[in-house]
Structures are given as structure tokens and as C-alpha cells.
Structure 1
Amino acid sequence: MKVWKAIGLGLLGLTVMASCSVMGAWAVFGGFYGCTSRDEELADELRTFAILDVRRPDARQSGRRYSDCDEDDGFAVAGQYYEHTGTREELLAFYRAAAAKDGWQPDGDGRGDGLCFSKPYGTVTAHLGVWFPSSYDIAGEPPANVMEYGLEVTASHDGAAWC
């Protein structure tokens, strides 16, 4: 009887150790962290938002439209960069009006010196950011007469997205 009890306890110990190892690996390599297939699908949907095509006549696209999922924070993102030759104030006034016309509501102070808006999208809240990469990137300076800016839409099924 003592032998069977010892074997049972040994097997229980091995089972607990194996479970802890599996759970530890799960937590390190994903777990509650990162993106799900729903987030990836949401990123593809955000990529089609018409607001990402809205620009002033003196602005031109810079690069391709992108969409992805932020693995660190687990939210979907899509965006487009532009180059603009007018003033920052003109640009911000343009996007305040364009966002309002498309149903976006002002949301906080934005990203640095940019803007932030939000609106419902299905069961999630989408966030629109108008931001200036050059104000975050010390390494590269845009030409004096050209200002680079980005439009970015984020959303998350767990509510963790922001501008």
C-alpha cells in the first residue's frame, strides 16, 4: 500500500511540474500577450477605413498603406503616411473638420502635438490619430518645406487600443 501511495504522489508531482512548465512556456511565448486571429482580421478591416484616404490637396501619399497587429499591446492598427507642404495648423484644422464630418469625436490630447479621435465600429471603439513622425524620430529631419505626418486607426476587441 505504501508503494502505491509513493507512486501516486510521485506521479502527481510529475504532473504538477509538467503543468507548470507548460503554463510557463505558454506565458513566455504568448499566453494573454500578443494578437489573436480576430485582431489580425480587425487590422485588415481598419485598413479599408475611408478616413485614411482623406488628405489636403497639397498633401501626397508617402509610402504604402499598412495594417498590422501590435504584438506588445494586442491591438489592430492601420495607417498611411503623407507629406504636406502647408503649415501644421492648416493640417490640424483640416483633420478636425474631416474627422467630424466622418463621425469621429475628439478624444483626449492626441499623440504629442497631433490629434486623437474615436468612434464606435461594430462592437469595438476605433481610434484615429493624426501624428507627426518627425517629432518622434530624432535621426531624420524632413526637408524644410515638407512635413511628414501619419494617419493611424487602432482598435481592439479587449478595449486596449488608443491613439
Structure 2
Amino acid sequence: MKVRKAFVLGLLGLTVLAGCGVTGVWAVSGGLYGCTLRDEELADRLATFAILDVRQPDARKLGERYSNCDEDDGFAVAGQHYEHTGTREELLVFYRATAAKDGWQPGRDRDEDGLCFSKPYGGVTAYLSVWFPSSYDIEGEPPANAQEYGLDVTASHDGSAWC
């Protein structure tokens, strides 16, 4: 009887210890808040999406491609900024057609100036966003570069991503 009781207590202790270890690994890897290593890896994969390189002939890249994980919301993001000389409407027409050819499904417009698309990717839903910086800066002046726009691709393993 004493051997059986010791065995049960030992087994219970090992179970508790294993549970604490798993919980600790989960918390350290971002389970409680922020991004996990899995999210960071997803951001790197999103940065390879060919759609981020597609632009009209009059557009040029601004800065470098970026990829990271939004610590507040825990989703992966990759993107590229561009500058163009055409109108916003021409640009939106271009990306509606280009995204459709690449298998992106139209979603709700981000606002009156932006677009949102989605498509499945590796067990998650990826979102493509075409967006424009604010039309005016804090002082109410037009920005130095009124023709700038961005392309972002976001995704998350827990479904928290959006345009």
C-alpha cells in the first residue's frame, strides 16, 4: 500500500513538474503576450511574397522591404513603400486587377483610399493591404510626398491579423 501511494505521489509530482515546464516554455515563447518565434518566421515568409514587388512602371521603391511581428496584436507583417506619379484611382485599379491575377480575393476597402484582399497561405489567411499615408500631417500641411503608398501583407496563426 505504501509503495503504491509513493508511486502515485511520484507520478503526480512528475505531471505537475511537466505541466510547469510546458507552461514556462509557452510563456517565454510569447504565449502570454506578443509574438512567438513561429510568428517571426511567418513574417519572414510573408516578406517573400511576389505581390510586394509588383508596381506600376511609374512607381519606385521607397526604403527597404520590412518584416516583423506586431507585438501588441501578435500578427506577422511584411511590406514595401512606393512612390508613384499617377493618380490614386489609377493605382487602385491596377492593384485590383493585379491582386485578382495572383489569387487574392477582394475584401472590404480599408477606407475611401485603400484596398484589402485575402487568400489562404500555409494554413492561415494572409491579408494584402494597399494603403496611403495620411493626406495631411499634424499641422494640416500636405505631406512632402503626397504620392506615397504602401503594400502590406499580414497573417497570424491565431486569426488576429487583418488589413
TM-score, with length taken from structure 2: 0.76
* Moved beyond 4 Å, runs of 4+: none
In the alignment, the residues of structure 2 paired with residue 136 and residue 158 of structure 1 have an alpha-carbon distance, to the nearest angstrom, of: 35
- Counterpart of 1:141 in structure 2 is 143
Q: How many residue pairs were aligned?
A: 136
* Gap change, CA 1:137 and 1:68, over 3 Å in 2: farther
Tell me by how many angstroms 1:33 deviates: 1.5
- Counterpart of 1:124 in structure 2 is 124
In the alignment, the residues of structure 2 paired with residue 136 and residue 121 of structure 1 have an alpha-carbon distance, to the nearest angstrom, of: 35
Q: Helix, strand or coil: the match of 1:134?
A: coil
Q: Is the 8 A contact 1:111 1:130 kept in 2?
A: no
Q: Structure 2, unaligned stretches of length 5 or more?
A: 1-23
Identity of aligned residues (%): 77
Q: Helix, strand or coil: the match of 2:92?
A: helix
Deviation per CA, 1:74-107, whole angstroms, max 9, x where unpaired? Answer: 0000000000110000000000000000000011
Q: Helix, strand or coil: the match of 1:89?
A: helix
* Amino acid aligned to 2:83: E
- Counterpart of 2:49 in structure 1 is 49
* Amino acid aligned to 1:55: R
Structure 1, 108-117 or 54-63: larger mean CA deviation: 108-117
Deviation per CA, 1:27-84, whole angstroms, max 9, x where unpaired? Answer: xxx6522000000000000000000000000000000000000000000000000001
Q: Is the 8 A contact 2:135 2:143 kept in 1?
A: no
CA RMSD of aligned residues (A): 2.3
* Amino acid aligned to 1:75: F
- Counterpart of 2:91 in structure 1 is 91
Q: Structure 1, unaligned stretches of length 5 or more?
A: 1-22
- Counterpart of 2:73 in structure 1 is 73
* Amino acid aligned to 1:119: K
Structure 1, 63-72 or 132-141: larger mean CA deviation: 132-141
TM-score, with length taken from structure 1: 0.76
Q: Is the 8 A contact 2:136 2:143 kept in 1?
A: no
- Counterpart of 1:151 in structure 2 is 151
